Chain A
Amino acid sequence: MTKLTSRSALPGLVLCLCLGLLTPSAFGQGELRFCLRSEPKTFDPLQVEDDASVAIRYLTGGTLARMNRQSQVLEPELAQSWKVSKDSRQITFKLRNGISFSDGTPFSAEDVAYTVQRLMDPSLHSPTSDAFRSGPGKVDTKILSPTQISITFPAPVAGLDRQFDQVAIMSAHSPKKEMAVLGPFMVADYKPGATVLVKRNPNYWKTDEQGRRLPYLESIRLDIQPNRDIEMLRFKRNEIDLINSLDSEYFDKLASGSPQLVHDAGPSLDSEQMWFNQVAKAPLPGYKKAWFRSTAFRRAISDAINRDDLAKVIFRGHAQPAMGPFSPANRFWFDSKLKPPVYSPDAALRALQREGFRLDNDTLKDTGGNAVVFSIITNSGNKYRERMATMIQQDLQKIGIHINVVTLDFPSLLERMTQSFDYEAILLGLSNVGLDPNEEMNVWLSSSENHQWNPQEKTPETAWEAEIDRLMRLQSASSDPKKRKEAFDRVQEIVVEQAPFIFLVNRNALSASSSSVHGVSPVILAPQTYWNAERLSLDVMEAQSRP
């Protein structure tokens, strides 16, 4: 047996050392590339509304607390700790010390105060600011020390600490205004209509477990590319590294050749749904209004839709039949007592017959002899919705209901939905960014503009809507998670019983990442693939061979 002596080991050790020196480190190098689906409208983090601007804010903004997109737990960021008062009106933050903005301006409680005051400015109208405006009055910010601040809101804010996940702190003193950031990256270049380039923030405060400064990446290039076919083409050609939201057919095509590149994180929070027009003043014939306002009619339609087929055919199995307003992916808030919907055209027909409908030569007619014909509108350009509407058309044909599928451009659809109420049924989707049902208050409250099937009711027109109003206000005012859950569970059950929305499917969160990217761990919460952007790295050798 040959013994390795120190002499014989030495050349090997030297070789390993040289190899180690020659092999470029994966850290501190490389440019990640992916696409934004639209032009960012603003770089001001407090005015962000569109997805592209949200993406930029996520990469550049430093927040006091951040929801870990994987564990769905709120974690300290710029704030080491915080305390929320029992009435959810006040929150006190203890901030980290020794942090600077990207331009070197020191970070302190003054910046937090400035940001919050700007956020609550009555002239600012954005989803971020409105999340804190639970009641009239001014916000009070008390700087207790350079690293301690207490913020008191005029009214209780449900999930107060979690809301700060969306608030990127701005500098009160920096001449660069919103361009001075606390996040891992900062905007370095912006070519309108083409690209946004974000580069490593040299003053980013976070380090990894080995004490290395984050982020690992040198920069991220975000190309503005609305067309999904071209995005896919560029991914296949290694021109981009990630596809944050991948279409099902492209998922399957990529998976057949390179399964390691694609990720299915399971059901997302998003849902596709349809609803009927229940607005009393809608310009519809009386008999149609009677159909749409009948719970039995809506439930029968729901029973007659084959959701399994929708999930299997349109989404290639990368979707699940929706059970209610919330997806099962929302682990805490989803009501586990809800049962999956059952496809039963026979039961649907029986239910309709009990309501006085009858089949006459393959056409369903109501008690007045009117053939059950209605239109369903959806937004053009969304091939999934167009196909869903066509499949629903065939499903309902089996029970004698004829529907006309009309695709409209989005402003025209919006106009019918929110102003003229000149529509019969709509098929759209709900994109859930957050987990808390409080973020959907404006959907469930009957007096709200976004109470889509019958907005801005002066008083609830049905007993069940009054009950939903009561329960939503109850859960909003409570700080006890258990009580809130009980109330919202009941809301979900009422919604399923009364079917103002017919929930169709929850799509899976599909994404793709190139093999040269390390650290990708796709999740269901946005941003699915780059939620841990500061810890992503590139295999530099592979990256250098890219076009």
Chain B
Amino acid sequence: MKIWRRVACAVLLLVLGVSLCAELVAPAGYARQYRETADAPPSRQHWLGTDDIGRDRFARVLYGTRLSLLLAPAAALLSTLMAAVIGGLAGYLGGMFERVAKTVTDLFLSLPWLFLLITVRALLPLNASPLVSVLATFLILGMLGWTSASRVLCASAASLRDSDFLRQARASGIPAVRLFWIHVLPNLKPVLVAQFWISIPVFILSEANLGILGLGVAEPMPSWGSLLKELEGLVSIGEEPWKFVPLILLVAVVTSFQLIFAKQEEFAI
């Protein structure tokens, strides 16, 4: 496993490093349209070909990586923390608090959040900078993505609530906050790590889907999600395998994250 973790770290560092040096590696830029060679296959000038309106796909992958790699984990962290606080606390405290938190969670799972997102878009000015739009997008994703894990965390914390070691700790006079922070939360790590790892690709894909509501990354900026949307022309994609590169890159990055965190799960007590 050590070797795999090292490989995973190397992959992540390589991807991050190359994407940060995108200006040097891909001087074509992500926005320039080579209209004479639109939808072209890979060539010396365009290593991954061009997209529908002639933009260099390799440059777009690099610049898109930068954005998605930084913001998606941040949003995943936010949703994980929210799940930990809401779900973990609910399970730990029990009683009415747990019941109310579970009801709120179930409501959150059922409501059509599409309309909240549409309202957020309406509140943002149309000329909001792409950065503001994309930050708002990932912030909302982080704030809405905690519900599934919260339920599982609640059950986990509830099962710990009356365990012997916690009773002993409580009897020794340890304050509740410290109990939660030092003794309960670490035992919730398996679920928290799973939540974090799952959220990264889910948020990357969700960002692309939010484009239909006017949120997400605005043109001409690329994102992994918008690059993955090219796969939806699947009918002919067998003839254009280079369009799978963003998917392969995303899988590599997500798997690397998982391999790095895998060790932490084995010492969860």
Binding site for B on A (CB under 8 A): 229, 232-233, 236, 249-250, 253, 309, 312-314, 373-375, 377, 380-381, 383, 386-387, 389-391, 393-394, 404-409, 412, 422-424
Contact = CB atoms under 8 A, between A and B. Distances in A.
A412 B118 contact: yes
Interface string B105-146: 000000000000010011000111010000000000000000
A250 B236 CA distance: 9
A373 B235 contact: no
Contact of A393 (B35, B122, B220, B234): B220
B181 to A, nearest CB: 43
Contacts of A381: 212
Given A309-B35, A373-B127, A424-B126, A405 B218 contact: yes
Contacts of B213: 380, 408-409, 412
A249 B233 contact: yes
Interface string B218-257: 1110000000000011111000000000000000000000
Interface of B: 31-33, 35, 38-39, 52-54, 118, 121-122, 126-128, 130, 211-214, 218-220, 232-236
A315 to B, nearest CB: 11
Contacts of B53: 313-314, 387, 390-391
Contacts of A408: 121, 213-214
A374 B126 CA distance: 8
B178 to A, nearest CB: 48
Instruction: State the majority secondary structure of interface residues on A.
Output: helix
Q: Which of B54, B126, B130: most chain A CB closer than 10 A? A: B126
Nearest to B236: A253
Given A249-B233, A309-B35, A389-B219, A404 B214 contact: no
Given A229-B234, A387-B52, A375 B126 contact: yes
18 contacts: A229-B234, A229-B235, A249-B233, A250-B235, A253-B235, A313-B38, A313-B52, A377-B214, A386-B219, A389-B219, A390-B33, A390-B53, A393-B219, A404-B130, A407-B211, A412-B118, A412-B214, A422-B126
A409 B212 contact: yes
A96 to B, nearest CB: 46
A316 B236 CA distance: 16
Nearest to A383: B52
Nearest to A424: B126
Nearest to A288: B127
A422 B121 CA distance: 13
Contacts of B130: 404
A313 B220 contact: no
Contacts of A377: 126, 214
Given A229-B232, A313-B35, A390 B126 contact: no
A324 B236 CA distance: 35
| Top 10 A-B pairs, shortest CB-CB distance | A380-B212, A375-B126, A405-B219, A408-B214, A390-B219, A313-B38, A406-B214, A233-B235, A313-B35, A375-B127
A389 B219 CA distance: 9
A407 B127 contact: no
A408 B45 CA distance: 35
Nearest to A395: B33
A250 B233 CA distance: 10
A229 B211 CA distance: 19
A312 B38 CA distance: 10
A386 B212 CA distance: 10
Nearest to B213: A409
A441 B126 CA distance: 31
A133 B127 CA distance: 42
B118 A229 contact: no
A375 B53 CA distance: 20
A373 B130 CA distance: 14
Contacts of A393: 219-220
B235 A407 contact: no
Contacts of A383: 52
B64 to A, nearest CB: 15
A423 B214 CA distance: 13
B118 A409 contact: yes
Contact of B214 (A229, A253, A380, A422): A380
Given A381-B212, A409-B214, 9 more contacts: A314-B52, A375-B126, A375-B127, A390-B33, A391-B33, A404-B130, A406-B126, A412-B122, A424-B126
A381 B213 CA distance: 10
A408 B214 CA distance: 5
Contacts of A405: 218-220
A217 to B, nearest CB: 28
A313 B218 contact: no
Contacts of A412: 118, 121-122, 213-214
A40 to B, nearest CB: 24
Nearest to B233: A229
A404 B131 CA distance: 12
Contacts of B128: 404
B127 A404 contact: yes
B40 to A, nearest CB: 11
Contacts of B122: 412
A312 B35 CA distance: 9
Contact of A407 (B33, B212, B234): B212
Contacts of B32: 394
